[in-house]
Amino acid sequence: MRSTGWLKRHRLQAFFILTYAISWASWPAYASGLIPRMEFLPIGPLAAAIIVIALTEGRAGFRAWGRRLIRWRVGWIWYAVAILLPVLLVLVSGVITMVLGAAAPGLAQLTWSGMLTVFAVRLVNPLDGPLGEEPGFRGYALPLLQTSRSPLVSAAILGVLVALWHLPLVLFGGLSVTGLPTTFAITFLYVWLFNRTDGSVLLTLLFHNSQGTFTMGSFGFTGADAVRVELVYFMVVVLAVLGTIALDRQAWQKAPRRATAVAAFSFGRLPL
């Protein structure tokens, strides 16, 4: 009972501890030479959310969480934003890089059928980023953060924790170093979209899926151009974030009620 009481008061801490532990589970074995490579598990946030909800909130928690996951009644414009904004960020970054002298042979090899197939598979695969991350990071952790913090502060905290969660990918070659600050920055766009759609994880899932379907790798840049386009992409994302803060200040002041978590017992604050 003491353990359950601690979990109820510190659900955020428990969620992130479990998320890191599950996703990084193979790191000690790899470091000890027991397995040939580090296996990063994107399902960590999803699994952690399910475990913490089961231990601390029960059916009521799953109902509230489930409603956020399938919240689809939002304006059509937000579906367009969720699917097209990630594509626009990549296109702008690629065009700028080509203006700077890079060639993009990879674009000629892209097909609509191939991209739609990738989009569909990633949408339902819990071992991939969108379905593995969004129900946990945006569906569970973000509402808890926003219960006692502004969306801007919540986005900053979540951005740091999500970026650090990706650290093994950088250490073992699955993500460039530039990917960490980019992950931090783009978290603000996820938070903005989540709040503007009244707490819809479905829309952030579409955003994440679109982001991972058409990427910088789609351009086929190599060498110095591949490094340059990632830096350009980071700057484009930062400009997009600053644009939402400057043009939509109200969205960063207070989260809508359905984008926060409300419960009968008090929430533990995440240590800063």
DSSP letters spanning the chain:
-HHHHHHHH-HHHHHHHHHHHHHTTTHHHHHTTSSSS----TTHHHHHHHHHHHHHTHHHHHHHHHHHHT---S-HHHHHHHHHHHHHHHHHHHHHHHHTT---GGGGG--HHHHHHHHHHHHH-TTSHHHHHHHHIIIIIHHHHHHSS-HHHHHHHHHHHHHHHTHHHHHTTSS-TTHHHHHHHHHHHHHHHHHHTTS-HHHHHHHHHHHHHS-GGGGT--HHHHHHHHHHHHHHHHHHHHHHHHH-GGGGT---GGGS---SSPPPPPP-
| Residue 108 confidence (pLDDT) | 64
Distance between CA 21 and CA 17 in Å, rounded?
6
Distance between CA 41 and CA 19 in Å, rounded?
9
pTM for this entry: 0.91
Q: Provide the CB-side half-sphere exposure for 104 (13 A, CA).
A: 20
| Residue 3 confidence (pLDDT) | 62
Distance between CA 225 and CA 127 in Å, rounded?
30
Cβ atoms < 10 Å from Cβ of 43: 19
Query: Is residue 62 within 8 Å of 53, Cβ to Cβ?
Result: yes
Would you write out the chain's pLDDT as a tens digit for each of its 272 residues? 556 677 888 899 999 999 999 999 988 887 777 778 888 999 999 999 999 999 999 999 999 999 999 999 999 999 999 999 999 999 999 999 999 988 877 776 778 888 899 899 998 888 888 999 999 999 999 999 999 999 999 999 999 999 999 999 998 888 899 999 999 999 999 999 999 999 999 999 999 999 999 988 888 898 999 999 999 999 999 999 999 999 999 999 999 999 997 653 444 444 43
Distance between CA 66 and CA 86 in Å, rounded?
25
Torsion over CA: 138, 142, 143, 144 (sign)? positive
| Residue 262 confidence (pLDDT) | 63
Q: In the chain, where are the structural domains located?
A: 73-259
| Residue 34 confidence (pLDDT) | 77
